[in-house]
Amino acid sequence: MKRTYLQRDKKKGTYATLLRMTSEVGEMLDAVLRNDLPQIHAEAADVLAWLCSACNLLSVDLEKAFLNKYGNGCPRCCQVPCACKGP
């Protein structure tokens, strides 16, 4: 994503990039509500792409941040699968 879009994303800016990501989340929800499986896949990819773009602008290593928090299972109970109470 950095090689493909970083220059364009810098022009767009962090706030607009995050706003676009939230818009893609809404589009994914619409696809889920329509049970449109191909579109669900497409929108999931878009959500991740815009999150990657935002992280690039914020100098966040997304893989490292994700693994740091979730790499050993649930960050609250430290179990795999999660053993926390509730849904």
Binding site for Zn ion (CB under 5 A): 74, 76-77, 82, 84
Nearest approach, Cβ of 20 to Zn ion (angstroms)?
31
Nearest approach, Cβ of 62 to Zn ion (angstroms)?
22
Helix (H, G, I), strand (E, B) or coil at 38: helix
Nearer to Zn ion, 6 or 82 (CB): 82
As a whole number of angstroms, the distance between CA 28 and CA 50 comes to 13
Nearer to Zn ion, 38 or 87 (CB): 87
- Cβ neighbors of 65 (< 8 A, separation 6 or more) are 55
Residue with the CB atom nearest Zn ion in the bound state? 74
